[in-house]
């Protein structure tokens, strides 16, 4: 029964809109998006704590462009034991009029049951640093294509996240990066 209850909580949390705050408007996303420039390897500099990345370090995401216009997604990282872990999926852009609002669906069960919101809140002009979040303000990531970047390189993005209403005081700064 305990496992079933946890599963129901996971499903409820994954349904878009269920956990949105009625007192806050959804955050503003970028107004244009170049999927080709977004492709590549992004290193997680920081994130808001979440259950699916608990204890994970050296997190990175690799994005590619699929022939059908979707974006391939491969997330990787190291568990506290040092063991590598990863998951693959794809991102879609449901509305051309909202280019910064993507939905990601992973291949593995139970992650494949629902698509998760992946909202691009900010990306610099060179497409090397990005701020990604969710409309319910529970998820936030600071991403960089340069594994040498540190939190000090993200003052602009952190300020923007705070302005939008994210809990920037709770950001977990990733202590390691995966480098090839």
CATH number of domain containing 60: 2.40.128.20
- How many domains does the structure of the chain reveal? 1
Is 0.95 surpassed by the pTM of this model?
no
Assigned domain for 12 exists:
no
How large a percentage of the chain has pLDDT more than 70? 85
Better pLDDT: 5 or 125: 125
pLDDT at 146 exceeding the cut of 60: yes
For residues 128 and 93, what is the distance between their CA atoms, to the nearest angstrom? 20
Better pLDDT: 175 or 152: 152
Q: Which of 8, 67, 57, 46 is nearest to 161 (CA)?
A: 46
Assigned domain for 88 exists:
yes
- The tokens describing 102, both together, are 């993507």
Assigned domain for 4 exists:
no
Assigned domain for 19 exists:
no
Assigned domain for 1 exists:
no
Domain limits for position 84: 27-173
């Amino acid at each position: 029964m305990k496992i079933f209850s946890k599963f129901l909580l996971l499903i409820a949390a994954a349904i878009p809109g269920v956990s949105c705050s009625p007192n806050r408007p959804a955050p503003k996303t970028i107004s244009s998006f170049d999927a080709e420039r977004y492709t590549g390897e992004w290193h997680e500099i920081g994130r808001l704590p979440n259950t699916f990345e608990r204890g994970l370090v050296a997190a990175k995401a690799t994005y590619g462009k699929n022939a059908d216009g979707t974006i391939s997604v491969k997330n990787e990282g190291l568990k506290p034991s040092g063991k590598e872990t990863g998951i693959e999926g794809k991102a879609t852009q449901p509305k051309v009029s909202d280019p910064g609002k993507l939905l990601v669906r992973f291949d593995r069960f139970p992650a494949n049951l629902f698509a998760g919101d992946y909202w691009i809140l900010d990306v610099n002009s060179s497409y090397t640093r990005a701020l990604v979040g969710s409309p319910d303000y529970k998820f936030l990531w600071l991403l960089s294509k340069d594994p040498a970047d540190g939190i000090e390189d993200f003052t602009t993005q952190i300020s923007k996240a705070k302005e939008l209403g994210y809990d920037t005081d709770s950001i977990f700064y990733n202590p390691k990066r995966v480098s090839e």
